Amino acid sequence: MKKLLIVGNWKMNLNTQEASLLVHRLHQHIKTHRDIEVVLAPSLLTLQPISMEIDRRRFGLASQNAYFVDEGAYTGEVSFNMLRELVDYSIIGHSERRRYFQETLEVVRDKVAAAVRNGITPILCVGETSPERAAGETQRVIHDQLTTALHNLTPEEAANVVVAYEPVWAIGTGDPEKPDDIKKVISWIRHILSELYGETQAGEQRVLYGASVAPEFVRDILKNTGVDGFLVGGASLNYQQFAGIVDSAYAALHEGSDHD
């Protein structure tokens, strides 16, 4: 059975001391479950100290970004190669990077390939903006983002990529997309994957939802949309909220059964 994946994207928040405090609280409040994998994505600055403070059996680590060339004269950048063994995952193609840092479809594709080449699992973000949604372009946008990003991978490499569907218009609003609509897009993503790699692989591939995830929405989204977990922004900065998301996910997974 696929494990549920819950990723906390701290974005450009928390200095070293604040990050350390949050990790301490997460250790106290997040329960470990065999069927839920919890991953933290601190800033690049705090990745290294956090890696020494966390219990790696309880929390995985992700970078929020990295550069696609392995080394060289690229002032200010950090490569996936430098993150090898430090992180398990890397968030790639987040809408904030596409928007504020002009990351094109091709840059995202090269970053996905660089992560894979360096043994890091990409968490590939796809999703439509508000104007794209209004223009009925959601399917096309997601198709282009997904197929370009996976283009240089073998089917075996692509199988390992985690896809995160993030409707850009719902990020940071406190109001997630409705489960019925999430379900349609998740099915579309699996449809694209099945055209590329066959139905079995498409069914096994991990697809997450992200945008305004909070404990009160977890059950509904998990039960009704076919997602395999969540990419959490704002709520991952608050240990009670983040622990609440993990608890609600666990409760939803085990509803109607009495095993731990």
* Cα 66 from Cα 63, distance rounded (Å): 7
Give the phi and the psi of residue 104 in degrees, each rounded to 5: -85, 175
Among 22, 114, 231, 249, binds ligand PGA (CB under 6 A): 231
9 or 20: whose CB is closer to ligand PGA? 9
Where in 158-197 is the site for ligand PGA (CB under 6 A)?
Answer: 166, 171-172
Q: Which residues of 157-189 are buried (b: 16+ CB within 10 A; e: fewer)?
A: ebbebbbbbbbbbbbeeeebbebeebbebbebb
Helix, coil or strand: residue 158: helix
Binding mask 55-94 for ligand PGA (x = CB under 6 A): ----------------------------------------
Q: How many binding residues for ligand PGA (CB under 6 A)?
A: 13
Q: Can you point out the beta strands (E) in the chain? A: 4-9, 36-41, 59-63, 89-92, 121-126, 162-165, 207-210, 229-232
Among 179, 210, 215, 244, binds ligand PGA (CB under 6 A): 210
152 or 238: whose CB is closer to ligand PGA? 238
Under the binding rule (CB under 6 A), the answer on residue 233 touching ligand PGA is: yes
> Where in the sequence numbering do the catalytic residues fall?
94, 166
Stretch that binds ligand PGA, among 25-33, 147-155, 189-197, 226-234 (CB under 6 A): 226-234
Task: Report DSSP state, residue 40.
Answer: E
Q: Which chain residues interact with ligand PGA by CB under 6 A?
A: 9, 166, 171-172, 210-213, 231-235
